[in-house]
A and B are shown apart, each in its own frame.
Chain A
Amino acid sequence: MEQAIDIILLGFLVVVAIAVVKQRDLFASVILFGIYSLLSAAIFVSLDAVDVAFTEAAVGAGISSILILSTLALTSRNEKPSSHSVFLPLMVVLVTGATLVFGTLDMPAFADPEAPVHKHVAPRYIQDSYQEVGMPNIVTSVLASYRGYDTMGEVVVIFTAGVAVLLLLSSVRHKEDELSNLTDLKHHPILLNVAQILIPIILLFALYVQFHGDYGPGGGFQAGVIFAAGFILYAMIIGIDEIRKTFTPKYLHWLSVTGVVLYIGVGIVTLLLGGEFLNYNVLAEEKLTGQHWGIFLVELGVGITVTATMLSLFLSFSEVRRTP
């Protein structure tokens, strides 16, 4: 039964993917891409990867379509017909694909318990993480404690990507009077009222996700995206200028640095206390308390950086005018 559902969902995914590629109207592609993301979240759920599904849901429903739409507003709506022949790219894709498929022949069967990946560190995570880290949600233990280095890298990547996009956009920014203030939707009474009720709820939900990563799916990445989505809703309906009063660009940049510094700071403190970098055991007398605090602070850093980066991306996209 579950396998049948997996296959059906994957089939949908293929259909949507083909439709996205075939579509010349980029706006329609964005819409179809939204469906693609909904489907991937459902597939992740059915594969039991609830944390990944949560991330996909938050990013897909809240941020990605909006950022793609913002980008689209800077370019043109229709895809230019390709002028060169499709033969060479097709061959490259076919050869690469064939190589990859050939590679899968050596891989162990799907869900094979004897596969090497299940023999390496996974048993330790599953059997010992509760004693060693004390979190019911193993994914959080792995993400924030065992593989804290990787996650730190990811946060730095998000930060760097944010900085890069801001730099790129600043070079096409126009003079102050030319800035297009995309209309805010304040004059729609329905939208205004519903948003006024929903924004506090969305923000609180984001904090719930941030602080319950220990128990269930959730954590800094998802929470940051949802928090940013709440503010983006605010910016779209109540106004960009209003949100700038609270979140000036400088303040946002400062916030996204704070998150990274908080993460690295935890690592430095553990070094000073005589442990290894990001070994939270030394943070408190009790080993598990130390782990708990370490993960809490690190996730908080992730959440702050993600929120600030996403929000400043959205705001700077809204400032740039389409080049005529």
Chain B
Amino acid sequence: MILAITAIALLVAMAMTLLRAILGPSIFDRILAANAFGTKIVLFLGVYGFLTERPDFLDIALLYALINFITTLAILRFFESGVLFVKSDEESN
């Protein structure tokens, strides 16, 4: 029961994060939201594993915890090289 409540709370938080990712307004807000969504999924997978009494799903959560930040680094790298940010649009102020 409590596990179910936790799962639902995480789902609601995911929905809010999703809203932020869609609303933006800047690209950084979207990346922040996507990153936070990753954390939420990690926790959700853990809770879901316990909810269905199969905690062996933890490997997937562990994988996300380990490599979810690689994409953020890739974004920084492309930023440094100036390829993706040359065309600044609505968020340039």
A and B touch in the complex (CB under 8 A): yes
For A304-324 the 0/1 string (1 means CB < 8 A from B) is 000000000000000000100
Q: How many residues in B have their beta carbons less than 8 Å from beta carbons of A?
A: 47
Q: Are B52 and A2 in contact (CB under 8 A)?
A: yes
Q: Which of B21, B27, B60 contacts A54 (CB 8 A)?
A: B60
Bound: A15/B23 CA distance, A: 12
Q: Which of B15, B63, B66, B78 contacts A182 (CB 8 A)?
A: B78
Q: Within A25-49, which residues are at the interface with B (CB < 8 Å)? A: 25, 27-28, 31-32, 34-35, 38-39, 41-42, 45-46
Bound: A153/B58 CA distance, A: 30
Q: Are A217 and B60 in contact (CB under 8 A)?
A: yes
Q: Which of B7, B76, B78 contacts A5 (CB 8 A)?
A: B7
Q: How many residues in A have their beta carbons less than 8 Å from beta carbons of B?
A: 58
Q: Are A45 and B48 in contact (CB under 8 A)?
A: yes
Q: Are A61 and B89 in contact (CB under 8 A)?
A: no
Known A-B contacts A42-B44, A76-B87; the reply to A25 vs B27 at CB < 8 A is yes
Q: Are B63 and A205 in contact (CB under 8 A)?
A: yes
Bound: A133/B53 CA distance, A: 27
Is residue B4 within 8 Å, beta carbon to beta carbon, of the partner chain? yes
Measured CB to CB, the residues of B under 8 A from A are: 4, 7, 11, 14-15, 18, 21-22, 24, 27, 30-31, 33-34, 37-38, 41, 44-45, 48, 51-52, 56-57, 59-60, 62-64, 66-68, 70-71, 73-78, 80-81, 83-84, 86-87, 89
Measured CB to CB, the residues of A under 8 A from B are: 1-2, 5, 8-9, 12, 15-16, 19, 25, 27-28, 31-32, 34-35, 38-39, 41-42, 45-46, 50, 53-54, 57-58, 61-62, 65-66, 69, 72-73, 76-78, 180, 182-185, 191, 198, 201-202, 205, 209, 216-218, 226, 229, 232-233, 236-237, 322
